[in-house]
Amino acid sequence: MESNITQGNDSSILECSQYSQWDESFLDIFSYWTEGVLQTFCAILGIIGNFLAGLILSRKSMKNVFNLLLVTLAIFDSTYLFGSILESFRKSFNLATNTHIILFPHMLYPITQISIAGSIFMTVAIALERYIAVHYPLTYNQAMHESNALPKRIAKYISCVLFLSLLFSFTRFFEAEVRYDPENPLTPYLKPTVLRTNSMYVLYFNWSRLIVLGIIPFMLLVFFNVSIYKAIQARRKRRHKPDVTQMTTTMGEPKEHSASSKKIVNSVREQHVNETRSKKEDNLAVIFMAFILVFLICHLPRLLLNIHELLTITETMECQKRGHFSFSLMSMVSISVSHFLLVVNSSTNIIIYCALSSKFRVECNTVYTSLCRRLTGFY
């Protein structure tokens, strides 16, 4: 790759990227396989996996706040995966139909952006829910025993995530428009709107994306993950310590103190129930810690690219105005990898759950066995 150095209006030197024929060929092939073949294959598997995970997690035996929120996350992820498949068809395979082009500006593109924002916000919401469950177990358990606690809690999280996703992504409905070729009026094509090319909007778009979809979620998820990990470790240490006072109280106790003995037994039972609940919440928290870790790894390139884009935004826009390439070859390769990793993140939920949850594996086996019996009986 060569650099095309031009003189700016303010007598400053502007360095724009210029691709050689080999660079363009390499980028086309790399994008085709990364954002085309691999991304589409991974997205299809992810949609199937999310659908199966949703069926299992919504079963009566698996129904709780955490699992139902994961079902909602799977819906956001699957919507994004479907949008990424359509983008692969449009950009990498050149298979976009006229209907696809017409629906893109005001439906397909905004919904895809809303879904990725919803996926990020829902991940933070689930992390918050796990944080509350682990750090305030008594308050959490009491709240969950209230009437209609489960649907109310789910509705609260979903409504907040949907509202924030729509609010943040509202301008995406006005970033592209459909135009028609004067020589061929039946052939539509896409063009950025005046809003999308406005320098102030581009600056707002990049800063808001970095802060709202990058820095804030990353900081919150790291904080929740570390806090949950510390709380689980502290709780496990307490569980392994024998309760000396309880042992000395219950041993060798005279008969006249049977009433107090019953109180102690009831207290022990209650403590056992609370410990069982705590272990269950801890197990769910460990599973979600794996979700967060995968999320951070897959979204890190996106965050770094956002920072790089903001640092070079003035030069990038100036190069674009002069008809040069906006980004270097390495940046374009990184963008393709980042897009692919976002698809990977939205496709791996069922793998994480199968690897870490024995109950989920049992339910999978139950569903599989039941399905096999039905198919056998049918034939």
Q: Tell me, what's the pLDDT at 252?
A: 52
Read off the DSSP letter of residue 257: G
Q: Tell me, what's the pLDDT at 284?
A: 76
Q: Tell me, what's the pLDDT at 240?
A: 64
Cβ contacts of 11-19, under 8 Å, gap ≥ 24: 14/315, 14/318, 14/319, 14/322, 15/315, 16/315, 16/319, 16/322, 16/324, 16/325, 17/319, 17/324, 17/325, 17/326, 17/327, 17/328, 17/329, 18/324, 18/325, 19/325, 19/329
Domain ranges of the chain: 29-241+275-373
Residue 318 DSSP SS3: helix
- Could you give the CA distance from residue 167 to residue 159 in angstroms, rounded to a whole number? 12
258-312 pLDDT tens trace: 556 555 555 555 555 555 556 666 777 788 888 899 999 999 999 999 999 888 8
Contact 14, 7 (CB under 8 A): yes
Contact 273, 111 (CB under 8 A): no
- Relative orientation angle of helices 137-144 and 109-135, to the nearest 10 degrees: 120
**Closest to 231 in 3D by CA, of 267, 270, 284:** 284
Q: Tell me, what's the pLDDT at 326?
A: 74
Please state, as a whole number, how many other Cβ atoms lie within 10 Å of the Cβ of residue 142.
Answer: 11
Q: Tell me, what's the pLDDT at 257?
A: 55
* Spans in the chain with pLDDT lower than 50: 2, 11, 245, 249
Contact 347, 77 (CB under 8 A): yes
Q: Tell me, what's the pLDDT at 69?
A: 94
Q: Tell me, what's the pLDDT at 269?
A: 55
Cα-to-chain-centroid distance, residue 326: 28
Backbone angles phi, psi at 323, to 5 degrees: 85, 15
Scanning the structure block, which residue is given the tokens 């990424």? 84
- Could you give the CA distance from residue 152 to residue 128 in angstroms, rounded to a whole number? 16
**pTM (2 decimals)?**
0.85
C-alpha separations of 263 from 260, 268, 373 in Å: 5, 9, 50
Q: Which CATH class is domain 29-241+275-373?
A: mainly alpha
C-alpha separations of 315 from 156, 302, 327 in Å: 44, 20, 10
Q: How far apart are the first and last CA of the chain?
A: 62
Give the 3-state secondary structure percentages of the chain, helix then strand then coil, rounded to 5: 80, 5, 10
